[in-house]
Amino acid sequence: MPDRRIIFLIALALFAQESTWNFYDNQVPALLREHVTSAAIIGALMGMDNLLGIFIQPWIGNRSDNTRTRWGRRMPYLAVGMPVAALLFVLLPWATSLVALVAVMFLYALVANTMRPLAESLVPDFLPPERRGRANAVVKIATALTIIVASLISLFLVDDHPRGAFVVPSVIMLLATFVLIAKVRDSESPAYKAATEAQSVDKAVPLREVVAELFTHPDRRRVLLLLTVFLFGGAWFASRSLVTPYGMQALGLTRGEAGGLTLPSGVAYVLAAYPAALLAERLGRLRVIAGGMALFAAAMVAGTLARTATGTVIVFCVAAVGAAGFTINAAVALWNLAPSSRVLGTYTGLYAVTWYLGGFGGPALIGGVVDLTGWDLMLLDVAVLAALAVLVIVLLERMQRRHREGVVS
């Protein structure tokens, strides 16, 4: 299958999945408020999907790695899971009690979490290492655009059709599923063929064995990369989740004004995504990751010095450009360090878990520091966490250089 065609189809799959996720984040809190007034309880219930993802995504990635069918190892799960997730999503606004709503939320999060790493794993399945960066950039652009889609659905449909609005993302998911079933057989992918040939002499690789090998192998590059993902994930999520109270407390903005500070940065991210992949092909993936994180940290420092609404908007746009250098290339770097094509799905899941753990720990850590130092220094606190990630990636780059020299010699 031509590269451009499979990239489009993978992007379509992720676009469909993220359309439901973004609309879920936008509208399910309002459904919960019909039954619960506590913001803490609503926040905890909305975080349930990330908690489930920590356990589910590595497991389903590993299970799909060891699946062998005439459709391949990812598509059987996607062909079943995406329609089920679409059905559960439609049921969300019809839940008439808190127990029913939480039950549907749990089932949707359970099924939808299994789909995330499978669609992403199609990138390294079909594409060689030198093409994965561009493909991942297209996929990230597609997922970023779903934020706009979810906002438009909320703007034009939710007030007049609060239940019917949930149908639109579900229909997008179903249509994408039909296209994938008709067009994609990952049994034809180079990675699947290589894994099948390897398994003709070797047994399946269980998840615990993959994780054990990762942490006991003398080559520490993969561990350092995952540590970078954890640290920068913490900085990124902290900068996004705490920006509204920062705008209100440090900049004197209203809640609505503070909530809109990061909107232009979404456009900046989309514009920077593909160039970040091209730049990595010229300069090296780890260098672009390091440079992107350094730019992000520098932008946060600048935001601390220029505490105005306009300055903060500009700072977040620059930070988003830097973040693109990381998010477009970090997963690709991990795929390329995987010991074989047999574990690509597992590594996709491990990346996701590390990113989510950073997303859980980062805001809590920065929030704790803010309690001690005040909101005026919040962006500087984020910069320090990002700088730690830069230090780790610099160490990894040196290790990578020594590894290449050892191979050459």
pLDDT > 50? residue 322: yes
Select from 96, 358, 343, 320 the least CA-distant residue to 225. 358
219: left (phi over 0), alpha (psi -120 to 50) or beta: beta
pLDDT > 60? residue 408: no
CATH number given to 3-204: 1.20.1250.20
Confidence of residue 256 (pLDDT cuts 50, 70, 90): low
Confidence of residue 306 (pLDDT cuts 50, 70, 90): confident
| Rounded-to-integer distance, Cα 104 and Cα 109, Å | 8
**Highest mean pLDDT: which range of 85-94, 112-121, 257-266, 355-364:** 85-94
Confidence of residue 200 (pLDDT cuts 50, 70, 90): low
Mean pLDDT throughout 66-84?
A: 91
The residues, ordered by sequence, that sit 6+ positions from 337 with a Cβ below 8 Å of its Cβ are: 221, 222, 225
Select from 353, 352, 334 the least CA-distant residue to 343. 334
Confidence of residue 205 (pLDDT cuts 50, 70, 90): confident
pLDDT digits (tens, 9 = 90+) for 160-181: 888 998 999 999 999 999 999 9
Superfamily of domain 210-408: MFS general substrate transporter like domains (1.20.1250.20)
Residue labelled with tokens 């690789």: 205
Confidence of residue 201 (pLDDT cuts 50, 70, 90): low
User: What is the pTM (predicted TM-score) of this model?
Assistant: 0.82
Taking the alpha carbons of 44, 48, 49, 52 in that order, is the dihedral positive or negative?
positive
pLDDT for 409 equals: 41
Collapsing DSSP to helix, strand or coil, 201 comes out as coil
**DSSP of 62-83, one letter per residue?**
HHHHT---TT-SSHHHHHHHHH
Confidence of residue 131 (pLDDT cuts 50, 70, 90): confident
Question: What is residue 163's DSSP assignment?
Answer: T
Q: Could you state, in order of their start, the residue ranges of all structural domains in the chain?
A: 3-204, 210-408
38: left (phi over 0), alpha (psi -120 to 50) or beta: beta
Question: How far apart are the two ends of the chain, measured CA to CA in Å?
Answer: 37
Select from 62, 338, 334 the least CA-distant residue to 208. 62
Q: What is the mean pLDDT of the chain?
A: 87
The amino acid sitting at 396 is: L
The amino acid sitting at 115 is: M
Alpha-helical (H) ranges within 328-343 are: 330-337
Beta carbons of 321 and 269 less than 8 angstroms apart: yes
| Rounded-to-integer distance, Cα 297 and Cα 289, Å | 12
pLDDT > 60? residue 1: no
The amino acid sitting at 162 is: P
Beta carbons of 317 and 264 less than 8 angstroms apart: yes
